[in-house]
Each structure stands twice: as C-alpha cells, then as structure tokens.
Amino acid sequence: MSPWRNLGMAIAATLAMLLPAAAFAQKFPDRPVKLVVPFPVGGGTDILARQIAPRLAEALGQSVVVDNRGGAGGNIGFETVAQSPADGYTLLFGNNSLTINAGLYRNLPFDAGRSFAPVGLIATAPLVFVTHPEQPIASMAELVALARTRPGALNWSSAGNGTPGHLASELFNKMAGVSIAHIQYKGGGPAINDLLGKHTQVSVQTLGAVKPFIDAGRLRPLAVAAGQRSQLMPQLPTVAEAGVPGYEADLWYGLFVPAGTPEPVRQTLNAALNKVLSDREFQQTLFKNGFEARPGSADKLGSLLATDLTRIVKLIADTNIKVD
C-alpha cells in the first residue's frame, strides 16, 4: 500500500474523531445545564454557586440549575459528577474539599486528580488568623513566641476536622515549629462564638465570616493565610510576611466537568465563566460577601488542583489528621 494512501487514511481517521466533537461543541449548550453543589443548601459554597448560576445561564444562553448533593464531606456530590456523562451538561462547583478529601478518605469512588477536568477558577475566600482583643497576642510574631514559651497551652478553634481552617492551622504548626492544640466545632459559627467568649485563643476563619466582628472591635486580625494580601483588608500582612516564610493557605472555588469532556465544550464554559467573573458589578457583589473573583484559564485551575493535592495530602499524612 502506498505511504501516501496510509497518510491519507490516518488523516481521515483523525478528522472522523474530531468532527463529531466539533459539531457537538458548535451547538453546545442546547438544553439546561446542571450545576452540582456538593454541600447542603444555605452554606457558603451554596450561596456563591447560586450567585454564579443565573449569570452563567445568561452567558451560555441556557438555564443553569443548581443541584445540591451534600453529604460525606462533599464526596457524594463529587462522585455524582465523576460518574456523569462527559458532555458538559453536568458541572461541579468544587472547592478545597476536593483535595482535602483525597487525603482524609480511603477508597474513594473517584480520583480527585483524574476524574475531573478543570474549567476555571471562580473565586477565593481569604482565610484570616484572628484572636480576642484581650488575649496577649497582637501579632503573628507574638503568637509564635507565646506558643513556644507555653507549648500545648494555646488552642485553635475550627469549623471541624479536615476543614480548610483546620488544615491551615496544622500547616502553621508545622512550618512555625509550634504546638497549638486543635479544638473542632460543628461549624464556623460555634467556633467563632467560643473565640468571642475567650474559651479558645486563636482561630482561622474566612475573612467574610469574621470581618463584622473585626470592624466592631470584637476580634483582632493577625494575618491572612493567602500568599498575597487581600483586597478586602489590604493593611493586614500575610503569614509569610509576618514571619513564616513560604506559608500559604487559601480557600478556593472552581468549576469542573467530568474527565473526557470535549475541549471545545470546556472552552465554551470557560469563556462564559470568565465573562461572568470579569463583570465589575458582579466582582463588587462577590467582594462585599468576602470573595475575590479569579477569572482565568482552565490550566490555572488545573495547576492549582495538582499543587494542592500534593501539598495537602502530604500535610494530612504528616499530621495524622483523621476523619471522625
């Protein structure tokens, strides 16, 4: 057989595979899209998703229906999307729990790094270290000094085992070389209440959750956990700036689809998402609720997921964090 004929057949076969995907993408979406939120109605993730959904629907020209699949720390929702058809009609509103759960749970019915394809980062919600104004802690340096002179005497309050705040506090212990005990609560509200009552000394919470107490002088902010200062409170240093070089922990939200979703479909979804997130009025709406919009490429979210998986899974193993 002629090599030219072989080449022609190879090209034809390649086009046969590409053309259906391209034709599919041209008409995508032609029916409503489902946005799976892996947490119950009313939580921070759900609230953000419901702010995004109607605007994403407008950008796509189709309805976007929020579907709450809470339970098992988000794993029920993650599994739902992982096992859905890879056609772009089932989206995952994911966050750090995707990487945290990979370290906390064994034998998951999905692979956090392989079962999903990134569409784009949505927003970050800065985590902040806070204490009560009457505690003898006015800075991160003073927190480290006190923890070193009184090992085991201080404690953190968090929203629960394996939450971003818990992981952020364990990461600080490890990198600062201190031992501050962890006390878990059933949610951020109770953890903040006990901090206000001086039953605990320090907590790591989303800035949006504690900013009203900071503004009222009832809590003292020490630093933000992110790698860069937050526009929500630009005068507040990062933990790295405050004396723990290389420290970085953030709460992020991103949009995913099942692995194998055609690239043209992902590009359509990414363009629609970035259109929503680039709107100045919507950015201000998110800003007022403690979120910072993060428009960008799918690769940016993919890189963040890969980095987080390596770092967080190792941290969980090193600190022996267990699920109740």
CB half-sphere exposure, 104, CA atoms < 13 A: 21
Q: List the single range of 56-60, 81-85, 199-203, 245-249 with lowest mean pLDDT.
A: 245-249
Domains of the chain, start order: 32-124+251-319 (3.40.190.150), 127-224 (3.40.190.10)
Quote the CA–CA distance of 97 and 114 in Å, as a whole number. 15
Q: Which residues pair with 184 in a beta bridge?
A: 158
The backbone torsions φ and ψ at residue 50, rounded to the nearest 5 degrees and listed phi first, read -75, -20
Can you tell me the mean pLDDT for 283-292? Answer: 90
Among 21-25, 44-48, 60-64, 257-261, whose mean pLDDT is lowest? 21-25
At 17, the pLDDT band (50, 70, 90 cuts) reads low
- DSSP per-residue string spanning 104-157: H-SS-SS-TTTSEEEEEEEEEE-EEEEE-TTSS--SHHHHHHHHHHSTTT-EEE
Q: Using a cut of 0.85, tell me whether the model's pTM lies above it.
A: no
Burial class (CB in 10 A: 0-12, 13-18, 19+), 248: middle
Tokens (6 digits) for 58: 């407008």
**Banded model confidence at residue 19, pLDDT cuts 50, 70, 90:** very low
Mean pLDDT value across residues 255-272: 98
CA–CA separation, 216 and 18 (whole Å): 59
Calculate ∠ Cα 256-261-265, nearest 5°: 85
pLDDT (average), residues 186-191: 84
| pLDDT at site 14 | 55
Q: What integer pLDDT is reported at residue 41 of this predicted model?
A: 85
Residue the block writes with tokens 């109605």: 41
> Rounded to whole angstroms, how far apart are CA atoms 43 and 314?
28
